[in-house]
Structure 1
Amino acid sequence: MLKNRNKIKVLFVCMGNICRSPTAHGVFESMVNNEHLSDQIEIESAGTHAYHVGEQADKRAQETALQHEVDLSYIRARKVKTSDFEYYDYILAMDSDNYAMLEQDCPSEYLDKVMLFLKFAPAHPLDEVPDPYYGGIKGFANVFEMVDMASKGLLEDIKAHHLA
């Protein structure tokens, strides 16, 4: 399905696009850049709600990412658009609530693109990336670790199925 396309397009989605999805965006982009695949993989993030449109990632998410040499400062929050369902090849929800919202808004012909991000971290005991917004810095560190694990699995999946 995707082998004839120029780039594989990945969209990470959480509620407000200031904690989990920009972290995933930054971590995955860093991995893609390190493997010199940025000309083959396009990465973006968005939220199911428009609470923070135009804002940078949460300072705690940025601080946690910087501890791992991942810069999130260039990412700005945006809301998922209807056109995203056609445009992106992978639409990765951080949790089941956001998955349900995406599924509700997604045209039926694109539903196979929408999935939970932690599907790509089968060894992880959880299915969802928890929202760290109302917690402390430890929650952001936990999210970073989960996102890092799932990003590695996602990159391996893309390489195996689309870049071979």
Structure 2
Amino acid sequence: MIRVLFVCLGNICRSPMAEAIFRHKVNEAGLSASFQIDSAGTGNWHVGKPPHKGTLTILQENDIPSGGLKARQVVKEDVHRFDYMIGMDTENVGNLRAIAGATGKAEISRLLDYVPAATIVDVPDPYFTGNFDEVYDLISEGCERLLAYICEKEGLTDQG
């Protein structure tokens, strides 16, 4: 089982969007049995709440299921449970590395690190900017590239 955790600040915009998109891509590839996918935030402001309306709207517009998404905060145990911890921006990655210290087993990186042609390194936070369309496009491409990376690294083949 390959465990992937997507992380942003509050876990109501970017990381639940990435969780839903990545899960959808994994399902389309026929690899659902090989993955556990989750998301969390570094902050606790929205714990227990559903994703932001903008996130739910853009997922619905793109026929991406969003059921079951609920905000939670990253906990220390996550760095031992997950193989990949994917931050949406540099600050998220810094926070994850601080939580992990020297003990975590997870590979920690930014989502856009997997997009060689990306002109930016951080997925902007639509909670502040309202740019859910741009964020969806960035996350979708990042998830596509991340899945290809993991499949190659873990020796998985597309079953879809």
TM-score over 0.5 for the alignment? yes
Moved >3 Å (runs of 4+):
none
Q: Deviations over 1:115-143 (max 9, x none)?
A: 1111111111111101010223xx11111
So what's the TM-score if we normalise by structure 2?
Answer: 0.93
Q: Deviations over 1:23-66 (max 9, x none)?
A: 00000000001111010011000000011000000011110111
Is the alpha carbon distance of 1:107 and 1:133 closer, same or farther for their aligned partners in structure 2, counting shifts above 3 Å?
same
AA in 2 matched with 1:163: G
Distance across 2 between alignment mates of 1:98 and 1:147: 15
Contact 1:62 1:73 in 2 (8 A): no
Distance across 2 between alignment mates of 1:73 and 1:51: 21
* 1:63 is aligned to 2:71: no
* 1:161 is aligned to 2:153: yes
Q: What residue is the counterpart of 2:79 in the other structure?
A: 85
AA in 2 matched with 1:71: P
* 1:150 is aligned to 2:142: yes
Q: How many residues matched?
A: 156
The 3-state SS of whatever aligns with 2:32 is coil
AA in 1 matched with 2:124: P
Match of 1:49 among 30, 34, 43: 43
Question: How large is the RMSD of aligned CA atoms in angstroms?
Answer: 1.2
Instruction: Tell which deviates more after alignment, 65-74 or 8-17.
Output: 65-74
Contact 2:80 2:106 in 1 (8 A): no
Contact 1:12 1:24 in 2 (8 A): yes
Distance across 2 between alignment mates of 1:15 and 1:100: 12
Distance across 2 between alignment mates of 1:55 and 1:83: 21
Distance across 2 between alignment mates of 1:32 and 1:61: 19
Is the alpha carbon distance of 1:71 and 1:112 closer, same or farther for their aligned partners in structure 2, counting shifts above 3 Å?
closer
Distance across 2 between alignment mates of 1:125 and 1:111: 29
AA in 1 matched with 2:36: E
Residue identity (%): 33
Q: How far apart are 1:71 and its partner, in Å?
A: 2.2
Distance across 2 between alignment mates of 1:110 and 1:63: 35
Contact 1:15 1:47 in 2 (8 A): yes
Instruction: Tell which deviates more after alignment, 10-19 or 114-123.
Output: 114-123
Unaligned runs of 5+ in 1: 1-6
AA in 2 matched with 1:156: A
AA in 2 matched with 1:36: G
